[in-house]
Protein backbone atom coordinates (compact mmCIF):
# COMPACT_ATOMS: atom_id res chain seq x y z
CA UNK A 1 0.00 0.00 0.00
CA UNK A 2 2.88 2.33 0.79
CA UNK A 3 4.45 1.50 -2.59
CA UNK A 4 1.24 2.54 -4.35
CA UNK A 5 1.28 5.84 -2.46
CA UNK A 6 4.94 6.36 -3.38
CA UNK A 7 4.23 5.65 -7.06
CA UNK A 8 1.34 8.11 -7.02
CA UNK A 9 3.58 10.69 -5.33
CA UNK A 10 6.26 10.22 -8.01
CA UNK A 11 3.71 10.61 -10.82
CA UNK A 12 2.35 13.78 -9.23
CA UNK A 13 5.89 15.15 -8.81
CA UNK A 14 6.69 14.43 -12.47
CA UNK A 15 3.50 16.18 -13.61
CA UNK A 16 4.16 19.23 -11.43
CA UNK A 17 7.80 19.28 -12.54
CA UNK A 18 6.76 19.27 -16.19
CA UNK A 19 4.37 22.17 -15.56
CA UNK A 20 7.10 24.16 -13.82
CA UNK A 21 9.53 23.38 -16.64
CA UNK A 22 7.11 24.54 -19.31
CA UNK A 23 6.43 27.75 -17.39
CA UNK A 24 10.17 28.41 -17.07
CA UNK A 25 10.74 27.64 -20.76
CA UNK A 26 8.01 30.07 -21.80
CA UNK A 27 9.48 32.73 -19.49
CA UNK A 28 12.97 32.29 -20.99
CA UNK A 29 11.58 32.41 -24.54
CA UNK A 30 9.65 35.60 -23.74
CA UNK A 31 12.86 37.13 -22.37
CA UNK A 32 14.93 35.85 -25.30
CA UNK A 33 12.98 37.51 -28.12
CA UNK A 34 13.55 41.09 -26.87
CA UNK A 35 17.12 40.22 -25.92
CA UNK A 36 18.01 38.96 -29.41
CA UNK A 37 15.73 41.08 -31.63
CA UNK A 38 14.42 43.98 -29.48
CA UNK A 39 10.88 42.86 -30.31
CA UNK A 40 8.21 43.11 -27.63
CA UNK A 41 5.33 42.05 -29.88
CA UNK A 42 4.92 39.51 -32.67
CA UNK A 43 2.27 40.21 -35.31
CA UNK A 44 0.89 42.99 -33.11
CA UNK A 45 0.34 40.70 -30.10
CA UNK A 46 2.17 40.68 -26.78
CA UNK A 47 4.80 37.96 -26.46
CA UNK A 48 2.92 36.43 -23.51
CA UNK A 49 -0.12 35.92 -25.76
CA UNK A 50 1.86 34.38 -28.63
CA UNK A 51 4.44 32.15 -26.92
CA UNK A 52 2.90 29.11 -25.25
CA UNK A 53 3.64 25.51 -24.23
CA UNK A 54 3.26 24.27 -27.80
CA UNK A 55 5.79 26.60 -29.43
CA UNK A 56 8.35 27.86 -26.90
CA UNK A 57 10.92 25.22 -28.00
CA UNK A 58 10.13 25.44 -31.72
CA UNK A 59 12.78 27.39 -33.66
CA UNK A 60 10.59 27.34 -36.78
CA UNK A 61 7.89 29.22 -34.90
CA UNK A 62 10.29 31.96 -33.84
CA UNK A 63 11.88 32.10 -37.29
CA UNK A 64 8.50 32.45 -39.00
CA UNK A 65 7.21 35.11 -36.63
CA UNK A 66 10.42 37.15 -36.67
CA UNK A 67 10.72 36.89 -40.46
CA UNK A 68 7.13 38.14 -40.70
CA UNK A 69 8.11 41.09 -38.49
CA UNK A 70 11.16 41.72 -40.67
CA UNK A 71 9.09 41.60 -43.88
CA UNK A 72 6.49 43.97 -42.44
CA UNK A 73 9.31 46.29 -41.32
CA UNK A 74 10.76 46.18 -44.86
CA UNK A 75 7.39 47.17 -46.32
CA UNK A 76 6.85 49.98 -43.84
CA UNK A 77 8.10 53.54 -44.05
CA UNK A 78 10.58 52.91 -41.23
CA UNK A 79 13.15 51.13 -43.44
CA UNK A 80 15.63 53.98 -43.11
CA UNK A 81 15.14 54.34 -39.34
CA UNK A 82 17.71 53.12 -36.88
CA UNK A 83 16.74 49.86 -35.23
CA UNK A 84 17.81 46.30 -34.86
CA UNK A 85 16.58 45.28 -38.31
CA UNK A 86 18.58 48.16 -39.83
CA UNK A 87 21.61 46.98 -37.90
CA UNK A 88 21.04 43.39 -39.08
CA UNK A 89 20.79 44.54 -42.69
CA UNK A 90 23.98 46.58 -42.40
CA UNK A 91 25.93 43.81 -40.69
CA UNK A 92 24.70 41.25 -43.25
CA UNK A 93 25.46 43.67 -46.12
CA UNK A 94 21.80 43.60 -47.28
CA UNK A 95 22.32 39.99 -48.34
CA UNK A 96 18.94 38.18 -47.91
CA UNK A 97 20.64 34.81 -47.34
CA UNK A 98 22.81 36.19 -44.55
CA UNK A 99 19.84 37.98 -42.98
CA UNK A 100 17.79 34.76 -43.04
CA UNK A 101 20.69 32.79 -41.56
CA UNK A 102 21.17 35.41 -38.84
CA UNK A 103 17.48 35.33 -37.91
CA UNK A 104 17.42 31.52 -38.08
CA UNK A 105 20.51 31.19 -35.87
CA UNK A 106 19.09 33.55 -33.25
CA UNK A 107 15.69 31.84 -33.43
CA UNK A 108 17.44 28.52 -32.80
CA UNK A 109 19.27 30.07 -29.84
CA UNK A 110 16.00 31.32 -28.32
CA UNK A 111 14.33 27.92 -28.69
CA UNK A 112 17.41 26.05 -27.45
CA UNK A 113 17.78 28.30 -24.39
CA UNK A 114 14.08 27.93 -23.60
CA UNK A 115 14.33 24.15 -23.96
CA UNK A 116 17.39 23.96 -21.70
CA UNK A 117 15.74 26.14 -19.07
CA UNK A 118 12.59 24.01 -19.22
CA UNK A 119 14.57 20.79 -18.88
CA UNK A 120 16.63 22.13 -15.98
CA UNK A 121 13.58 23.43 -14.13
CA UNK A 122 11.67 20.20 -14.79
CA UNK A 123 14.53 18.13 -13.38
CA UNK A 124 15.04 20.29 -10.31
CA UNK A 125 11.34 20.58 -9.52
CA UNK A 126 10.68 16.89 -10.09
CA UNK A 127 13.55 15.85 -7.81
CA UNK A 128 12.48 18.22 -5.04
CA UNK A 129 8.81 17.30 -5.26
CA UNK A 130 9.58 13.57 -5.47
CA UNK A 131 11.50 13.78 -2.21
CA UNK A 132 8.78 15.84 -0.57
CA UNK A 133 5.85 13.74 -1.76
CA UNK A 134 7.47 10.37 -1.04
CA UNK A 135 8.31 11.64 2.45
CA UNK A 136 4.65 12.54 2.88
CA UNK A 137 3.55 9.14 1.59
CA UNK A 138 5.88 7.25 3.93
CA UNK A 139 5.35 9.42 6.99
CA UNK A 140 3.95 7.87 10.16
CA UNK A 141 0.65 9.69 9.85
CA UNK A 142 0.22 8.41 6.28
CA UNK A 143 0.94 4.84 7.35
CA UNK A 144 -1.51 5.05 10.25
CA UNK A 145 -4.23 6.35 7.96
CA UNK A 146 -4.11 3.10 5.98
CA UNK A 147 -7.04 0.84 7.03
CA UNK A 148 -5.03 -2.37 6.64
CA UNK A 149 -2.29 -1.10 8.94
CA UNK A 150 -4.84 0.08 11.48
CA UNK A 151 -6.57 -3.33 11.42
CA UNK A 152 -3.25 -5.09 11.98
CA UNK A 153 -2.38 -2.83 14.91
CA UNK A 154 -5.79 -3.39 16.51
CA UNK A 155 -5.40 -7.15 16.08
CA UNK A 156 -1.97 -7.10 17.75
CA UNK A 157 -3.36 -5.06 20.66
CA UNK A 158 -6.24 -7.51 21.15
CA UNK A 159 -3.84 -10.47 21.15
CA UNK A 160 -1.64 -8.72 23.73
CA UNK A 161 -4.62 -8.02 25.98
CA UNK A 162 -5.75 -11.66 25.76
CA UNK A 163 -2.21 -12.83 26.57
CA UNK A 164 -2.06 -10.56 29.62
CA UNK A 165 -5.45 -11.80 30.84
CA UNK A 166 -4.32 -15.41 30.37
CA UNK A 167 -1.13 -14.81 32.34
CA UNK A 168 -3.01 -13.10 35.17
CA UNK A 169 -5.54 -15.92 35.41
CA UNK A 170 -2.79 -18.54 35.30
CA UNK A 171 -0.92 -16.80 38.12
CA UNK A 172 -4.08 -16.63 40.25
CA UNK A 173 -4.83 -20.28 39.61
CA UNK A 174 -1.28 -21.25 40.55
CA UNK A 175 -1.51 -19.26 43.75
CA UNK A 176 -4.85 -20.84 44.58
CA UNK A 177 -3.46 -24.31 43.92
CA UNK A 178 -0.48 -23.57 46.17
CA UNK A 179 -2.80 -22.56 49.00
CA UNK A 180 -4.84 -25.71 48.50
CA UNK A 181 -1.73 -27.86 48.66
CA UNK A 182 -0.62 -26.12 51.84
CA UNK A 183 -4.06 -26.65 53.36
CA UNK A 184 -4.01 -30.33 52.41
CA UNK A 185 -0.54 -30.73 53.93
CA UNK A 186 -1.74 -29.17 57.12
CA UNK A 187 -4.71 -31.52 57.23
CA UNK A 188 -2.50 -34.58 56.74
CA UNK A 189 -0.17 -33.63 59.55
User: Which tens digits make up the pLDDT trace of 14-40?
Assistant: 888 889 999 999 999 999 988 888 888
pLDDT at 161: 97
Residues 164 and 85 in one domain: no
**Same domain assignment for residues 162 and 122:** no
For residue 25, what are the CA distances in angstroms to 38, 42, 61, 118, 119? Answer: 19, 18, 15, 4, 8
Pairing type for strands 45-46 and 41-42 reads antiparallel
Same domain for 72 and 22: yes
Q: Coil, helix or strand for 176?
A: helix
**pTM, rounded to two decimals:** 0.65
The stretch 146-154 carries a mean pLDDT of 85
Q: Are residues 43 and 84 in the same domain?
A: yes
Q: Which of 33-37, 107-111, 161-165 has the lowest mean pLDDT?
A: 33-37
Query: In this structure, are 171 and 84 located in the same domain?
Result: no
Question: What residues make up the domain containing 184?
Answer: 147-189
Per-residue pLDDT band at 12 (split at 50, 70, 90): confident
> How many domains does the chain contain in total?
2
Burial of 109 by CB count in 10 Å (0-12 exposed, 13-18 middle, 19+ buried)? middle
For residue 39, is it left (φ>0), alpha (ψ between -120 and 50) or beta?
Answer: beta
Amino acid sequence: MVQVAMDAAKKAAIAEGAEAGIAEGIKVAIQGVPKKFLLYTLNGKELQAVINANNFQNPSFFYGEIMAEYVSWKKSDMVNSYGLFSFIEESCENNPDKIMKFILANSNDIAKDAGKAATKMTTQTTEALTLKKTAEATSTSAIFSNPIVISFIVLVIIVLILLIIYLILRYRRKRKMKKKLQYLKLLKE
